[in-house]
A and B are shown apart, each in its own frame.
Chain A
Amino acid sequence: MSLFGVAAGMALRGRRPILEIMFGDFMALGFDQIVNGISKFREMYDDQVTVPLVVRAPMGARRGYGPTHSQSLEKLLLGIPNICVVACSECHDIGALLTAAVEDERPVFFIENKLLYGRPNRRPEDGHIGELAVRESGDPYAALTFSATDFTEGSATIVTYGGMLPIVLDAVTELVLEHEIFCEVVALSQLVPMELAAVLESVARTGALVTAEEGTLTGGLGAEIAARVQEAAWSDLRAPVQRIAARDGIIPSARPLEDAMLPSVEGVVDAVMAIEGAQR
C-alpha cells in the first residue's frame, strides 16, 4: 500500500515512476490508493494534476506457484474510471507498449504474463507470424488481428490478450490442421478503457465470437466484451458468444490440478467446434 502511495506522490510531483509489484496478486494491497487516490486525483483537482505512473504487474499461472501467486487479477481494474490497463503478449512490440505507457499521462497498469519472460518475442514479419497473416492497428496500444486465411474467410473470432495468446494460437492451428476450420484472433493490448474496434471489424467477417482469458469466468473481461459486442453487432452474430476462462475457484499448486483449473487449448477448440455445431 505504501509503495502505491509513494509512486502516486512521485507522479503528482512530476516524475514518471514505474512501480513493479512482483506478483500482480499483491495489487490487492494497493487498492485503496488505486480506487480512492490514483484514479481520482486528476478529476478531483480539475485537471490541475496528472498521475502518470506505470504499475508493472506480472500475472498468470502455470508455474505451480499456488493460490496467491498465480492469479490474473486485471479484471478487478475493470470499471475504475480514468486509468488505463495494458496487457502485453509475445506477439506485441512490448518495448513500444511500455514506452507508450511511460509517456501516458494516465495511470497505466501494465500486465505481463509470467510465462512471457521465458519466451521469445514473435513479431510479424512480412505481415505474418508463422502461417498466420497479421494486421496491427495503429493505436499506441495496438490490437493484433490474426487470420488463418489471409482475411478471406473465418468461422469465428477469438478475442484474447496476454498469456492466453499462445494457447489460442495453438488452438487455431489445431482447428486448421485437423478440421479445416479457420478462425481470426484479436489480441488486445488495451483492456481499459475497452477498445473493441478490431473485434467488431473481425466479427463482421466471421459472425461469431469466443472470448478467452486466464482470469476467472464470472465478471471477467469476456463478460464485458460479450455485452458490448452483442450490443454493437447483434445482427452480425449467428451464435451466442462463448466465454473461455479459468473456473471460478482458487488456483492449486499441483501442476495437473492447476491445468484442470485453467483454460486450455482443448477448451478453445471445443468452444469453436460448438459454434460450428450450432451453425449446422
Chain B
Amino acid sequence: MREIVLTREDANTEFALLTEWLVEDRTEVSAGQPVCVVETTKATVEVESPGEGTIVQLYAEDVEVELGKTIAYVAETADELAAIDAKAEERPAPKPAAGDRKATRKAVELAELHGVDLSGVEKRGFITEKDVEELIARQKASATPAAGPILAGVSTDGVSLPSTFDLDERAGVLDPSFLASLDHDAFRALSMGSKIAALREAGAQIGEGVDVGEGSLVVASRIVIADGVRLGPRATIVCEEIVAIGELSQFGADLELRCRRAFLGAGIWAGRSIRFGGGGHRDPWATLTVGDLAFVGDEAFVNVCRPVLIGREVFLTMRSMIVTHNIGHSVLEGFENRFAPVVLEDRSQVGLGAVLYAGSRIGAEAIVASNSYVVGEIPAGAFAIGVPAKATGSSSHKLSDARRLELARRMIDDLHELLALRGHAVSAIEEGDPRGFEIDGTRVAFTPSYRGGVEAPAVILALDVRGDVTDGIAVVDLVGRRVHGSGGVVLDSVREFCRKRGIRLEPGPWSYSGGLV
C-alpha cells in the first residue's frame, strides 16, 4: 500500500487547499498519473500517484489539509484495500468543521422535535429557529394532518409500547349514561366489590384478583384492567378516553392519574403519591404510555399535556419530574412558550429529583443523575449529569465473561450471609457445582451452566439454562432474566434478592410478599 502525503515545503506554510481530485475515488490509477490539484500559498501543483492500484481518497474537494497528512492511499491488492477500509472504520468520524454547519442549535432541536427535514428550508445563510418554524407552518398548511393526536407523530424508536397499547377498540367501552350519571364522591365511598361490579356492569373490562383500594375513583370512557392489578387507597383515575392497565401492575396510595389516554403496561411497580396529569391533561395530545415492568418512584410528577412515552423497564425514581409545557409569560413579549413531548426509551433511568423539560428524550439505557435538569436529548447508553444535564460517560461498562462469573458466584455468598443475619437457619456453603447451601430443606445454589440433574427441592441460579426443569426445581436464568419452574418462599426470597441487584425476573411482578429477605 502506498500513501499520498502532502509534504511540507517551508516553515511558514502549514495548510494547503485540496482544490480538485482529477480521478474518481476507488478507481485504478497508474504510477505518475496526476490525481489531484493542491493549492499552496506559493503555487498550484498537481500531485502524482506514487504507484499503480486503486486510489482511496481521504478528503473531499475544496478542503484545507494540514501539510504532512496522508490524503489518499493507493492499494495494490484487494487485501490492502480491505486493510485500508478496516482502518477507516476504527477512525472516529471527523467532526464537522464550523463552516460545515449552517443550522443553529435551536433550529436543529426544533426540527428534530417535529421530525422535519432541514433541507426543506430554502435560504441563503444560516438556518434559524424562525426558519424552521416557518417551514413547519408551511408544511402544516399544505399537508393533510399528519399523525393523529394519540402519539402526535412522536418517534417510538427505542420505546417498547406497553402490552395494553394495541387493545381492540371495543374493549372496555363504558355505557355513556353510566358516566353521565356517575357521582364521584358516592363512587369513592363504595366497597371494592361494589365498585368493580358497577364498572363491569357498565362495560368496563376488569380482570380477576384486581384490588381497588379504599376511597378510590376510576372514571374513563374505556376501562381495561388486567388480572392482579392493585390500586392503592385513595387513587384517582380520570381519563377522558381510556385507561388500560396490564396484569400485575401495582400503584401505591394516593395515585392521581388524569389525562386523555393512559396505556399502562404489565408488571409496573409504582410507589405512593404519584401524580400523572397537571396542566393541559385534557388536551387532545395528552397521551401517557408506561412500558411493561417500568418503575415509578414515590411522589414522581409527570405532566401530560403532550405525549409522554415511558419505555419498558424504565426506572423513574422518587420525586423526578417530567414537564411537557411551559407557558410562563407572553410569547409576544419574547418569552418562551413550549409544548413538547417527553420520551424515555427502554431501560433508561432518571435519578432522584431530576427534571425533564418539555422536548427531552432519554436514549435507551441512558442514566440521568439525581437533581439533573434535562433539556433536549441524552444519547442512548450515556450517563448524563448536571444543570443542564450533559453526557459525561457511559451508563454501564462492558463485563468480561470471567468478571461476570465472579460476580454471579459471589451472589450466593451474599445471599447466604443475608439470610443468616436475618436469623434464618442456613447450612454452611458446600463447595462443588452447583455450589450453595440449604434453607428450610431447599437447596439454593449457583452453577455457571444449568443442564438438569438437580435433586428437588432446589432453587438454582445460573448464567446459562439448557437442561430440563423438573417439578420442585426453580431455575433462575440470571442473564436471560427469567425464572423457569416454580417455587415457594425460597424462590420469592431469591427473586427479591436479585431485584435488589437490578436483576428483574420475568414473569413478573417485581416485588414479593413473604420472602425471607
Q: Are A170 and B98 interface neighbours, CB within 8 A?
A: yes
The answer to the question of A32 belonging to the interface, with a C-beta cut-off of 8 Å to chain B, is no
How close is B307's CB to chain A, nearest CB, in angstroms? Answer: 27
Q: Are B126 and A131 interface neighbours, CB within 8 A?
A: yes
Instruction: List A residues 97-145 near B (Cβ within 8 Å).
Output: 114, 117-120, 128, 130-133
Residue of B nearest to A121 (CB): B41
Q: Are B125 and A148 interface neighbours, CB within 8 A?
A: yes
Residue of B nearest to A174 (CB): B98
The answer to the question of B124 belonging to the interface, with a C-beta cut-off of 8 Å to chain A, is yes
How close is A72's CB to chain B, nearest CB, in angstroms? Answer: 18
Q: Are A132 and B125 interface neighbours, CB within 8 A?
A: yes
The answer to the question of A150 belonging to the interface, with a C-beta cut-off of 8 Å to chain B, is yes
Contact of A120 with B129 at beta-carbon distance under 8 Å, contacts A128-B124, A177-B101 already known: no
Instruction: List A residues 166-184 near B (Cβ within 8 Å).
Output: 170, 173-174, 176-178, 180
Docked pose: A122 CA to B410 CA in angstroms = 66
Q: Are B99 and A120 interface neighbours, CB within 8 A?
A: no
Docked pose: A141 CA to B125 CA in angstroms = 27
How close is B109's CB to chain A, nearest CB, in angstroms? Answer: 11
Q: Are B39 and A133 interface neighbours, CB within 8 A?
A: no
The answer to the question of A149 belonging to the interface, with a C-beta cut-off of 8 Å to chain B, is yes
Using a Cβ–Cβ cut-off of 8 Å, how many residues does chain B contribute to the interface with A?
A: 21
Q: Which of B8-16, B269-277, B478-486 contacts A (4 or more CB under 8 A)?
A: B8-16
Residue of B nearest to A126 (CB): B124
Question: A150 — which chain B residues lie within 8 A by C-beta?
Answer: 124-125
- How does the 8 Å CB contact mask read for A147-168 relative to B, with 1 for contact and 0 for none? 0111000000000000000000
Q: Are B98 and A173 interface neighbours, CB within 8 A?
A: yes
Docked pose: A130 CA to B15 CA in angstroms = 19
How close is B15's CB to chain A, nearest CB, in angstroms? Answer: 6
Instruction: Tell which of A117, A130, A170, A178 touches B105, judged by Cβ atoms closer than 8 Å.
Output: A178
Question: A132 — which chain B residues lie within 8 A by C-beta?
Answer: 125
Instruction: List B residues 84-112 near A (Cβ within 8 Å).
Output: 98-99, 101-106
Question: A149 — which chain B residues lie within 8 A by C-beta?
Answer: 125-126
Question: B126 — which chain A residues lie within 8 A by C-beta?
Answer: 131, 148-149, 176-177
Q: Are A131 and B125 interface neighbours, CB within 8 A?
A: yes
How close is A99's CB to chain B, nearest CB, in angstroms? Answer: 20
Contact of A176 with B104 at beta-carbon distance under 8 Å, contacts A117-B12, A118-B14, A120-B39 already known: yes
Instruction: Tell which of A118, A133, A170 touches B13, judged by Cβ atoms closer than 8 Å.
Output: A118
Q: Are A131 and B17 interface neighbours, CB within 8 A?
A: no
Docked pose: A119 CA to B15 CA in angstroms = 7
Q: Are B13 and A128 interface neighbours, CB within 8 A?
A: no
Q: Are A130 and B13 interface neighbours, CB within 8 A?
A: no
Docked pose: A24 CA to B65 CA in angstroms = 29
The answer to the question of B395 belonging to the interface, with a C-beta cut-off of 8 Å to chain A, is no
Contact of A180 with B104 at beta-carbon distance under 8 Å, contacts A128-B125, A131-B126 already known: yes
Question: B12 — which chain A residues lie within 8 A by C-beta?
Answer: 114, 117-118
Docked pose: A177 CA to B125 CA in angstroms = 12
Contact of A180 with B128 at beta-carbon distance under 8 Å, contacts A120-B39, A174-B98 already known: yes
Question: A174 — which chain B residues lie within 8 A by C-beta?
Answer: 98
Q: Are B125 and A180 interface neighbours, CB within 8 A?
A: no
Q: Are A180 and B101 interface neighbours, CB within 8 A?
A: no
How close is A179's CB to chain B, nearest CB, in angstroms? Answer: 8
Q: Which of A150, A174, A177, A178 has the most CB of B within 10 A?
A: A177
Q: Are B125 and A118 interface neighbours, CB within 8 A?
A: no
Q: Are B104 and A130 interface neighbours, CB within 8 A?
A: no
Docked pose: A15 CA to B99 CA in angstroms = 45
Instruction: List B residues 461-505 near A (Cβ within 8 Å).
Output: none
Residue of B nearest to A127 (CB): B124
Q: Are A131 and B41 interface neighbours, CB within 8 A?
A: no
Q: Are B105 and A133 interface neighbours, CB within 8 A?
A: no
Docked pose: A253 CA to B102 CA in angstroms = 36
Q: Which of B98, B103, B124, B125 has the most CB of A within 10 A?
A: B125
Question: B106 — which chain A residues lie within 8 A by C-beta?
Answer: 180
Instruction: List B residues 111-137 near A (Cβ within 8 Å).
Output: 124-126, 128-129
Question: B15 — which chain A residues lie within 8 A by C-beta?
Answer: 118-119
Residue of A nearest to B14 (CB): A118
How close is A34's CB to chain B, nearest CB, in angstroms? Answer: 27
Contact of A117 with B41 at beta-carbon distance under 8 Å, contacts A148-B126, A174-B98 already known: yes
Q: Are B105 and A131 interface neighbours, CB within 8 A?
A: no
Question: B64 — which chain A residues lie within 8 A by C-beta?
Answer: 120
Q: Are A133 and B125 interface neighbours, CB within 8 A?
A: yes
Contact of A130 with B101 at beta-carbon distance under 8 Å, contacts A117-B41, A119-B15, A177-B126 already known: no
How close is A22's CB to chain B, nearest CB, in angstroms? Answer: 11
Question: B13 — which chain A residues lie within 8 A by C-beta?
Answer: 117-118
Question: B105 — which chain A residues lie within 8 A by C-beta?
Answer: 177-178
Q: Are A131 and B102 interface neighbours, CB within 8 A?
A: yes
Docked pose: A133 CA to B124 CA in angstroms = 9
How close is A14's CB to chain B, nearest CB, in angstroms? Answer: 33
- How does the 8 Å CB contact mask read for B233-245 relative to A, with 1 for contact and 0 for none? 0000000000000
How close is B505's CB to chain A, nearest CB, in angstroms? Answer: 46
Residue of A nearest to B106 (CB): A180
Q: Are B41 and A118 interface neighbours, CB within 8 A?
A: yes
Docked pose: A230 CA to B399 CA in angstroms = 65
Residue of A nearest to B107 (CB): A180
Question: B41 — which chain A residues lie within 8 A by C-beta?
Answer: 117-119
Question: B103 — which chain A residues lie within 8 A by C-beta?
Answer: 177
How close is A1's CB to chain B, nearest CB, in angstroms? Answer: 26
Instruction: List B residues 1-39 near A (Cβ within 8 Å).
Output: 12-15, 17, 39
Contact of A120 with B104 at beta-carbon distance under 8 Å, contacts A128-B124, A174-B98 already known: no
How close is B132's CB to chain A, nearest CB, in angstroms? Answer: 11
Docked pose: A131 CA to B64 CA in angstroms = 18
Q: Which of B15, B17, B64, B124 has the most CB of A within 10 A?
A: B124
How close is A176's CB to chain B, nearest CB, in angstroms? Answer: 5
Question: A176 — which chain B residues lie within 8 A by C-beta?
Answer: 104, 126, 128
Residue of B nearest to A116 (CB): B41
How close is B348's CB to chain A, nearest CB, in angstroms? Answer: 26
Which 6 residue pairs of A and B lie closest in terms of their CB atoms, listed nearest first? A131-B125, A131-B126, A177-B104, A176-B126, A118-B13, A180-B104
Report B's interface with A, CB cutoff 8 A.
Answer: 12-15, 17, 39, 41, 64, 98-99, 101-106, 124-126, 128-129
Question: Can you sample 22 A-B contacts with CB below 8 Å?
Answer: A114-B12, A117-B12, A118-B13, A118-B14, A118-B15, A119-B15, A119-B41, A120-B64, A131-B124, A131-B125, A131-B126, A148-B125, A148-B126, A173-B99, A174-B98, A176-B126, A176-B128, A177-B103, A177-B104, A177-B105, A178-B104, A180-B104
Given contacts A174-B98, A177-B104, A178-B105, 19 further A-B contacts (CB under 8 A): A114-B12, A117-B12, A118-B13, A118-B14, A128-B124, A131-B102, A131-B125, A132-B125, A133-B125, A148-B125, A148-B126, A149-B126, A173-B98, A176-B126, A176-B128, A177-B98, A177-B101, A178-B104, A180-B104
